[in-house]
């Protein structure tokens, strides 16, 4: 599937899943806009690297996804948005009665509200272009729950609901909206947690991964950022033109339990 001539905007994409998706979009021929809340030389150099690797136009646009006006401005500054990948997210773990209010507000803003604002800004562009794809990066926690992650789980369930509504509102147009629900993905952030978890549980790397981190992931293997990107590219293909308003789990069987 060639995405040549399409522009993909990926939020929260200077590392991890978002960066993996951006690279796969570029490999498929799409021009890409990557994003985070920082604005460093490294951010812009990363965009240039992606562009050079795949022979596409790649830009970095700074925007704080906790701010509604900046979410919408990101899409406006992009100038075009044929493909919108809502990926930006943060996490905090605490019991509900001890969950800091400011953390709840930030997680809902970045993980859920940002997707509403970017979608609202992108849909008129997609309609004008006569084609569009919205791909929201939800989570296995958009379909199930765990203790101590109330804000994250509420936000990701909300993302799944927003995806369905977006799909219904665009059902008679050449626009689709779907959510990818990853389980544990091996990102630099997850990789960095492994040594501390090994010390905490006094376990080997293999045992920590299998019995602690991937306890709920039946495959006992991490998903990869490349797999997330490949799934997103598929959802933008002609083969997926009648896939809309649904979730695709890339979770090693987590939600089959």
| Residues acting as catalytic residues | 152
Taking phi first (over 0 means left), then psi (-120 to 50 degrees means alpha), and beta for anything else, what does residue 32 get?
A: beta
Residue 205: other Cβ atoms inside 10 A: 11
Measure the CA–CA gap between 35 and 31, rounded to whole angstroms: 14
Q: For residue 204, how many C-alpha atoms fall within 13 Å in the half-sphere facing its CB?
A: 3
Short-list 6, 152, 1, CA closest to 83: 6
* DSSP per residue, 111-152: IIIHHHHHHHHHHHHHHHHT-EEEEEE--GGGTS--TT-HHH
Q: For residue 84, how many C-alpha atoms fall within 13 Å in the half-sphere facing its CB?
A: 33
Mention every residue, 6+ apart, whose C-beta is less than 8 A from residue 131.
6, 82, 174, 175
């Amino acid at each position: 599937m060639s995405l040549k001539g399409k522009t993909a905007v990926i939020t929260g994409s200077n590392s991890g899943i978002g960066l993996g998706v951006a690279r796969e979009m570029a490999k498929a021929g799409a021009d890409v806009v990557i994003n985070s809340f920082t604005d460093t030389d490294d951010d812009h150099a990363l965009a240039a690297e992606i562009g050079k690797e795949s022979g596409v136009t790649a830009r970095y646009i700074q925007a704080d996804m906790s701010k509604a006006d900046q979410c919408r401005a990101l899409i406006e500054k992009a100038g075009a948005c044929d493909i919108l990948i809502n990926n930006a997210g943060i996490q905090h773990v605490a019991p509900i009665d001890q969950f800091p209010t400011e953390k709840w507000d930030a997680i809902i803003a970045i993980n859920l509200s940002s997707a509403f604002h970017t979608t609202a800004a992108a849909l008129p562009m997609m309609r004008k272009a006569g084609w569009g794809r919205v791909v929201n990066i939800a989570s296995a926690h958009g379909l199930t729950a765990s203790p101590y992650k109330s804000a994250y789980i509420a936000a990701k369930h909300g993302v799944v609901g927003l995806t369905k509504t977006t799909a219904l509102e665009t059902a008679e147009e050449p626009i689709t909206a779907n959510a990818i629900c990853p389980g544990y993905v091996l990102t630099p952030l997850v990789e960095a947690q492994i040594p501390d978890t090994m010390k905490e549980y006094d376990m080997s790397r293999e045992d920590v991964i299998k019995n602690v981190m991937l306890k709920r992931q039946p495959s006992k293997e991490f998903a990869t950022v490349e797999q997330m990107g490949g799934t997103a590219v598929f959802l933008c293909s002609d083969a997926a033109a009648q896939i809309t308003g649904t979730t695709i789990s890339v979770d090693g069987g987590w939600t089959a339990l």
